[in-house]
Each structure stands twice: as C-alpha cells, then as structure tokens.
Amino acid sequence: MNLVEQNWTEILNRVKEEHDILDVSFETWLAPLKVYKVEDNIVTILVPSQQVGLDYVSKKYKLPLKVAIAEITGTNYEIELLLPEEIERRQKTEEDIITSSNAGLNPKYTFDTFVVGSNNKFAHAASLAVAESPGEIYNPLFIYGGVGLGKTHLMHSIAHFILHNNPKSRILYATSEEFTNELIEAIRNGNNTAMSKFREKYRNIDVLLIDDVQFIIGKESTQEEFFHTFNTLHGAKKQIILSSDRPPKDMDILEDRIRSRFEWGLLADIQSPDYETRMAILRKKEELDGYNVGEDVIDYIATNIKSNIRELEGSLNKIIAYANLEKREINLALAEQVLKDMISPNEKKVITPEFIINTVAEHFNLSPSDIIGSKRSSKIAHPRQIVMYLCREFTGTNLVQIGQLLGKRDHTTIMYGIDKIEAEINNPSNTVTEEEIDILKKKINPPK
Ligand SMILES: Nc1ncnc2c1ncn2[C@@H]1O[C@H](COP(=O)(O)OP(=O)(O)OP(=O)(O)O)[C@@H](O)[C@H]1O
C-alpha cells in the first residue's frame, strides 16, 4: 500500500478540519471517496456517485485534497477524480490490449492498414467475412500465396477484428514452426502434464491461426497432433485460419486426411500486386509513417520492385533511413543510388510508349503534348521521330498503335519517321542523332 492509501482517513480529516466542513457535507461528499490507484505521480480517486457528485467534488474539493495529500505524504501529486463507469471502461481497454498482445499480434496489421487491390480482393473479402462471423461460414479459411504478399497481415487483421468485437474471445496465433517446437518440447518433457498443457493451449480457444502451415509437411507427429487439434476445434465450431505458400493440392507429401480438411472451408489466394496496388501500398505506408515522398520516387520503387510487398516496403524504408542519416533530400537520384543493389536485372521494368514520350519530351525540353500534337517545326518533329524509333525498339507496340498514340498519325508516317532516324544514326558524318539515341536509351532503360 502506498502512502496515500495508508493515510487516506487522515487526509480526508485534514481537509474537513482545514476547511471547516460540516458533518453532513463531509459524509455526503468526502467520506465516500476511495483511492483507486496511485501511479506516475497521479492519484486517481473514485467518486462513487453520479455525475453531479463528480462535478461538485472536483470543483470544491480537488484542490483541498491535493494540498492535504502533499502535506501528509510529502509528494506533490496530480489528482484525477473518476466515476466507476469510467474506471470500468479503462479496465476494459487495458484488458483488450493485454489480450491482443498475448495473442502474438502485430498492432499494425489491421484491415485499416491493408490496401485492397485486384491481387488480394478475394482473400480480403473472405477474411472480412470470417472476422465478422467466426466459426460460422468458412471453416477453415485457408489463405495461400507467395512470400511477403500479405498473408500474415490478413490473418492478424482478422484476429484484431474479432477481438475488437468480442474482447473476451480466446485467440491464438502461431506459426507452424512454433506449434512444432512447442510440441517437441512437450514430448521431450515426457510427462502428461506438459502434453495436457500443450493441448489445453491449442484446443481451449475460440480462434486458432496457424501461419505457414506448409512447414508441418513431412513432420509425422506434428501432423498427427495438428490433425487432432483441428478436429477438436472444428467439431466445436471454433474458427481455424491457416496460411501457406501454396494450395493444399500442391502440398505433395501431406497426408490426405489433412489435405481434405484444409479444403473443407474456403481457399483464398493472394497474387503479386499490380502497379496500381504497389503504388497504393507505398502511399499508405508513407502516410502511416508520416513522410512526404515525391511521386517520382514512389513510382520508381513501384516500377522496379514487383513481386514482394515486404521488399517494396523495405525499399521505401531504406531510402528514408538513408536520407535521414546522410541529411539528404529524398529524390529520385537518392532512390536510384540506394536501391541499385536491390533492383535485380531480372526485375526489368516494363517500358511503355507513354514513358518513352515523357522521357524524350523532358530530354528536349518539350511537353508530352508537343510530341503528340500537330506542330511540324523541326524542333518538335525530330524528337517525335525519335519517339517513334524508340517505341519500336523498346515496346511490343506495332506501327499502327504507335501512330494512334502519337496523335492518330498514319502508320506510313511512323514508318517514314523510323527510317529517317535510322538513316541519321547510320550517317558517319553526323553523330548527333546517334548520341541522342544513346543517351535516351540509357535514360529509358538504365544499365544495371
Ligand atoms: N495489401 C497490403 N496492404 C498493406 N501492406 C501490405 C499488404 N500486403 C502486404 N503488406 C505488408 O507487406 C509486408 C509483408 O506481408 P506479410 O508478412 O503479411 O506477408 P506474408 O505473405 O505473410 O509473407 P511470408 O510468406 O514471408 O510469411 C508486411 O509489412 C505487410 O504489412
């Protein structure tokens, strides 16, 4: 017990004496006050009556209480007066926090921070449906997809959602490796108590989430134990959510009785994100972390890092960390420098005619609309012909399509433009065009 609680009666009496409070007032307002807790230099006092009591006591007795507490304990505490309902609400929130962290959940992995794109739309909808009605519709939910594509993020989102709706839900998230290791430990202990504790942990719950379940393949006793865990929970209508890097049908040496159980509920896959989703994920991350990174930098990352969202986020983090460390501005040059090792040669970016138009326009100090437009001055016609040539070099676009993109020009015009540039490149007495093309090729498709 702390000094405030120890001396509480004396503190109240001190207030009564010093302020000459009549018995009736003392009994009504002061005597019912209780110390709820003393923490971080704050004394929280419970006012066990209605709002009127709280308002009145705060106004009239808060300062006298503060002074009396300071005089008697020798510490200058802040005073907080609360009604029982508020204390109950706070306790509940504290419990919530304890439950989610006990369940091994990452607080950042929620539906709010998950960007929905065409690659994960189905898995997201399935996850939300399960989160809204656990144990009722899709059981198990089996989410599969390649490395770093958001399976864990979705699983944690489901768990957070369920906990938010029902803080008393018993939720357990574990990787299949953790499940295996704990099982091995229980078996090694060789006594029944360790094994019952293990079973109690995994079977006496409302929601079980097992990540990367592919790792149980080939581990006989793990599969056996998992099989029984699954049956117990499923039989009791408890929700099971599993993730894996591949669908059950591709889990070669998985026992059939387990494979069929994986397929009982709903299978949902996550694919690699498309460009728009990659951009949206980077923007979301930037927003969540409170940074302001230019569009060109975000575009550079999204164009070059395609297959793994963890790497996508990692690239942005790396650029930001580098800029902070070196006290440099976050711009494209920095991004290129920082990421040069991450962008592997086989992560070739897709070069579009639009990209070529923009690059050429910028190089010649023109706008893209000049290139597409109808002006025929040589200042514009020459870069336009270069665009035609580069489109044929870098993209699969045919002459008709290039013509369409360049202000609906006829394909013979395009053919003429390309021939002209080729002739200039091959002219040994004038190397200007050749040099221009050389620089532009490097800008469009930088050597790795
Ligand atoms: N759609 C998304 N929106 C926002 N962030 C995402 C999305 N998908 C993935 N991420 C982020 O990408 C990172 C990797 O995701 P996660 O760990 O969930 O992948 P995983 O599929 O479980 O990978 P692994 O196969 O390695 O277990 C995480 O930081 C996650 O928050």
Domain of residue 14, CATH code: 3.30.300.180
From the CA of 146, how far away is ligand 1's center (Å)? 10
Domain of 325, in residue numbers? 275-344
Q: How confident is the model at residue 208 (pLDDT cuts 50, 70, 90)?
A: very high
pLDDT tens string 290-323: 888 899 999 999 999 887 898 899 899 989 988 9
| CA distance to 127, 183, 267, 282, per residue, from 120 (Å) | 10, 33, 12, 16
Q: Among 235, 269, 303, identify where a domain stops.
A: 269
From the CA of 148, how far away is ligand 1's center (Å)? 5
- 285: CATH: 1.10.8.60
Structurally, how many domains does the chain consist of? 4
Strand arrangement, sheet containing 42-46: 34-39, 42-46, 78-82
The protein residue whose alpha carbon is closest to atom 23 in ligand 1 is 148
Q: Which residues pair with residue 269 across a beta bridge?
A: 144
Same domain, 123 and 250: yes
The protein residue whose alpha carbon is closest to atom 7 in ligand 1 is 150
Q: ipTM for the complex?
A: 0.98
The protein residue whose alpha carbon is closest to atom 8 in ligand 1 is 150
- 116: CATH: 3.40.50.300
- 389: CATH: 1.10.1750.10
Q: Which of 97-111, 161-175, 258-272 has the lowest mean pLDDT?
A: 97-111
Same domain, 370 and 436: yes
**Domain assignment present for 97:** no
**Domain assignment present for 89:** no
Q: What is the pLDDT of residue 96?
A: 47
- For the CA of 109, the nearest atom of ligand 1: 31
- For the CA of 156, the nearest atom of ligand 1: 18
Q: What is the mean pLDDT of residues 273-279?
A: 93
Same domain, 133 and 240: yes
Q: What is the pLDDT of residue 94?
A: 56
**Domain assignment present for 169:** yes
From the CA of 309, how far away is ligand 1's center (Å)? 6
Same domain, 416 and 319: no
Q: Among 82, 114, 138, identify where a domain stops.
A: 82
Q: Among 219, 246, 269, identify where a domain stops.
A: 269
CA 25 to mean position of chain CA atoms: 56
User: Exposure of 382 by Cβ count < 10 A (0-12 exposed, 13-18 middle, 19+ buried)?
Assistant: middle
**Domain assignment present for 164:** yes
- Which of 174, 173, 205, 200 is closest to 100 using CA atoms? 173
* Number of C-beta neighbours around residue 303 at 10 A: 18
Same domain, 257 and 382: no
Indicate whether 421 pLDDT > 70. Answer: yes
Same domain, 212 and 297: no
Rounded to two decimals, the pTM is: 0.60
In contact, 13 and 20? CB cutoff 8 Å: no
Show the ligand 1 pocket: residues with CB < 6 angstroms: 109, 113-115, 120, 145, 147-153, 212, 245, 281, 284, 309-310, 313
The binding site for ATP comprises 148, 150-152
Q: What is the mean pLDDT of residues 51-55?
A: 79
For ligand 1, pick from 128, 152, 211, 242 the residue to mutate: most ligand atoms within 8 Å of CB. Answer: 152
Same domain, 56 and 170: no
Same domain, 249 and 311: no
Same domain, 32 and 109: no
Same domain, 189 and 301: no
Q: What is the pLDDT of residue 93?
A: 56
Same domain, 184 and 259: yes
Indicate whether 98 pLDDT > 50. Answer: no
Q: What is the mean pLDDT of residues 204-213?
A: 92
**Domain assignment present for 93:** no
For the chain, helix, strand, coil in percent to 5 are 60, 10, 30
Q: What is the pLDDT of residue 34?
A: 93
